[in-house]
Structures are given as structure tokens and as C-alpha cells.
Amino acid sequence: MTTTTYTALAIPSAALAQLRSVDDAGRPCRAFTADGDAAGSPLRCCLRAARAGERIALVSYAPLRRWAAGSEAEPGAYDEQGPVFIHAEECGGPDPAHRAYPFDRPGALRTLRRYDAGGRIVGGRLFEIPEAATAGFDRAFAEAFADPGVALVHVRAVEYGCFHFEVRRDSL
């Protein structure tokens, strides 16, 4: 029996370069030093938690819009933007040696939204991260991609609705 693994995708570097200037809501990026509550914030540039003392920014990001710009998709009303934390300067992206899914605290609630190649929502589900987080995510993605019409899945936090990461069919 073969096991399929899925890859969590960070915000692409070209998008990060733009977001570090002006975000997807048209606001200038305002960096600050992570301390207090901001330390531990989920960074979508490198898919890890912010550390105290790091320079980070909270920007508005439209993941489906940016994905659609590189494809034939027209998400229409499904285009949305929301807050994400990123490093204020280039960080090198995710550690390639780290294979687990990011932000995988057992018990945390996530929404897994499925989109087709046209950028329309074709399903979704509430997902509670189990103790065996990697195996749980793998099962949830296998379920999502069992539908041949699913092109990508966005993982979002339930509490704030913010985008955590994306998994694409072609990243399998």
C-alpha cells in the first residue's frame, strides 16, 4: 500500500515581495517587532511561528485571487482577502527539512475549502486537528482530492478565518 503525502505551500516569494510593499487591500506594509501576543503568530512566508524580536507585518492577502492570476480561473465572488502575518524582510521560506504540516496544534479547528480549476468553491469541511496531526491532514487531503474536480485546498483557521496554507493537486 502506498501513502500519498501532500505539501503545504507558503505564500510565493513574488507575492511576498509585493505584500512587503503594498498588501492586497492596497495598504502599505507596516512592520513591527514581534513581542507579547505577536510572538507565536503563524507566519505564512515560512510556515512557522514568529519568534520574539523578529520583524513581522500583518498584511491583507488574497490567496485565490493571486492563484487565479496565474491560471484561467475567475473566482468572482469567491475572491476574498484576509489578514496574514509575514516576515517584514525576506526570510528564505519554509525549512525543507520540516515535513509536518504547519500550525498543527491538536484540537485546533480548521476549515478545508476545496476549489475547482475555475476558482469556485466545490466543497469544504470542518477539520479538528487530531493528536496524529500529519496522518489526519493526509486523510483529509486524500478525501478532498478524491474528487477529480478539486484543484486546490485552502486551510483556514476557524476562529479568525485567516488563511494558513494551500495544497494544490499538482503538488502531490
pLDDT at res. 172: 43
In angstroms, rounded to a whole number, what is the distance separating the alpha carbons of residues 22 and 27? Answer: 5
C-alpha 12 chain-centroid distance: 10
| Spatial separation of the C-alpha atoms in residues 48 and 36, rounded to whole Å | 17
- State CA 138 to chain mean position distance: 16
Smallest CA-to-CA distance from 24 within 16, 34, 35 is with: 16
Boundaries of every domain in the chain: 13-94+103-171
* Res. 102: pLDDT tops 50: yes
Q: How many CB atoms lie under 10 A from the CB of residue 90?
A: 11
SS3 category, 58: strand
Q: Residues 68-82: pLDDT tens digits? A: 998 889 999 989 999
Classify residue 2 by its DSSP letter.
-
pLDDT tens track for 118-154: 999 999 999 999 999 999 999 999 999 999 999 999 9
Q: List phi, psi (to 5°) of 131.
A: -55, -45
Residue 33: band (very low, low, confident or very high) from pLDDT cuts 50, 70, 90: very high
What is the rounded average pLDDT of the residues 52-70?
Answer: 95
Helix, strand, coil % over all residues of the chain, rounded to 5: 20, 30, 50
Question: For all residues of the chain together, what is the average pLDDT?
Answer: 92
